[in-house]
Structure 1
Amino acid sequence: MFLFTLVLGVLFLPEADSLKCTCEESLGFCSNGTIECSSQNYSCSAATVIFHGKYLSGNTVTEQNSKGCIKSELCLDYSVSNGVYRVLQKTSCCSGDLCNANITYPKPDYKSTSNGKKCFSCDGENCTKTLNCVGDESHCFTVTRNAQGVTVMMKGCASDKVCSDKSTSVSSGQLPGSKVSCCQGDYCNSASTPSPALLLLLVPLLFSNLFS
């Protein structure tokens, strides 16, 4: 639940202005079933996030649904995997007051099959483990972060939209001290040059418990 709170805190952050959206979730952000957000660069949304623990507790799947406000550039369908967790989001967005009231929650397909791409992932301090990418995961990624004086690293597969540079202003400052890079090509994340990307916003938040 803590993990999902972080995601909602970024993606559904309320900002008082004119756009009103239907709000459905139980973490305290809703008020009487509606939420106000900035009409500029915001949309109303209905989103489903699936946390797929492929190697934890025998293939666990947790689904979270929410409706509210979202920055338009974050209205994405994506998949990110580090070999332990796979996180998928599918989002439907619209513009206009309360336009998301009757939108059915979209359903990500977490049963996607391997697409043939291979990236490195980390198993403890060993970051040369092979991870078979699935679905639309077309990029390899590397995230490094200094946590309490110790450098930790995460590698894996990610969708093209997650690795886009178009939302660097949103991702900036979300997790100081982190370096993120995306690349294409099998095992290309063995030695990547850090670059700003939307992944800087998504991955550390979705997998923040791995860095605790």
Structure 2
Amino acid sequence: MDLQLSVFLLFTLFTAGHSLSCYECVSMTGSCDNQKLKTCPNGSSNCMSLTVIPQNQFSFKTKIKDCTVDCQSGSINFGISKLSSSCCNTDQCNVQDAPDPSNIPNGRKCYYCDGQTCLNTVSCSGTEDRCVNATVTVESLSAVVKGCATTSICDATFIPSVGGISCCEGNLCNGAQSVTSCEGNLCNRSQSVTQSFLFLCCSLLSYFMMH
């Protein structure tokens, strides 16, 4: 018993106070050349690296790295934005940028929303083997989002501001209804809704991968 207690105390001594270290950066130049090493706060158990590629000519490829409590590796495609994530749990393991999401179609198709309608279809690629539905709410704007996702993303648990997460298997299994709504003066103007919807989708992409 004394030997076991001594081993336990030694283990506690050598492991106490150790915090995970990860690289952090936010870059819109397509590469995390400016990444810095940081000591993660208590509770963080993963390092993550994200690549976000909005699907329009006026947006920039974004790279993000940081500590996180939990993380899901994989990719997700909401039609207007695509994201891939790499997650790991050892010191400085996120030194490499997350790869760009695959552009190789895998034969599956899902519905996605563009801020006005959810009748659009998107071709899934790479490991995206499920169609996904979710509802995201930020302040007074609520929207249903749809798209393609890898199975690991569907296994995400609690995600702030997001509810009704469900995944299904099979082409176009995630429905097609138009479901964007908001409150406030002139909130139904096309440009306002579309910009807000893009913001919601980008927030949701990060929540899916980082929580």
1:136 aligned residue? 127
Q: What aligned pairs does 1:118-137 form with structure 2 within 5 A after superposition? A: 118-137=109-128
**How far does residue 147 in structure 1 lie from its aligned partner after superposition?**
6.1
- Cα pair 2:74 2:152 within 8 Å, conserved: yes
**How far does residue 148 in structure 1 lie from its aligned partner after superposition?**
6.4
Per the normalisation by structure 2, the TM-score is 0.61
| SS of the residue 1:20 aligns to | coil
Match of 1:83 among 74, 79, 86: 79
CA RMSD of aligned residues (A): 3.3
| SS of the residue 1:186 aligns to | coil
1:131 counterpart letter in structure 2: V
1:206 aligned residue? 205
- Identical-residue share of aligned pairs (%): 25
- Cα pair 1:121 1:128 within 8 Å, conserved: yes
CA distance in 1, matches of 2:94, 2:80: 32
CA distance in 2, matches of 1:44, 1:123: 32
**How far does residue 24 in structure 1 lie from its aligned partner after superposition?**
3.3
Match of 2:39 among 11, 34, 37: 34
**How far does residue 144 in structure 1 lie from its aligned partner after superposition?**
2.6
- Cα pair 2:49 2:97 within 8 Å, conserved: yes
1:180 aligned residue? 165
CA-to-aligned-CA distance 1:105-164 (integer Å, 9 cap, x gap): 253232431111100011333211111011111111112346666652211111100001
1:160 counterpart letter in structure 2: T
| SS of the residue 1:161 aligns to | helix
CA distance in 1, matches of 2:23, 2:95: 12
Q: What aligned pairs does 1:145-156 form with structure 2 within 5 A after superposition? A: 145=136, 151-156=142-147
Distance change in 2, residues 1:182/1:204 (3 Å): farther
| SS of the residue 1:108 aligns to | coil
Per the normalisation by structure 1, the TM-score is 0.61
Segments ≥4 residues shifted beyond 3 Å: 101-104, 145-151, 202-205
Structure index of larger Rg: 2
Distance change in 2, residues 1:22/1:114 (3 Å): same
5+ unaligned residues in a row in structure 1: which ranges?
Answer: 1-16, 95-99, 193-201
**How far does residue 104 in structure 1 lie from its aligned partner after superposition?**
3.2
CA distance in 2, matches of 1:185, 1:126: 21
1:161 aligned residue? 152
- Cα pair 1:80 1:203 within 8 Å, conserved: no
**How far does residue 81 in structure 1 lie from its aligned partner after superposition?**
1.2
Distance change in 2, residues 1:204/1:34 (3 Å): closer
2:104 aligned residue? 113
Distance change in 2, residues 1:130/1:93 (3 Å): same
1:43 aligned residue? 45
Distance change in 2, residues 1:204/1:24 (3 Å): closer
Higher strand share: 1
1:9 aligned residue? none
Aligned residues: 160
CA-to-aligned-CA distance 1:154-177 (integer Å, 9 cap, x gap): 11111100001xx53x43xx116x
- Cα pair 1:119 1:133 within 8 Å, conserved: yes
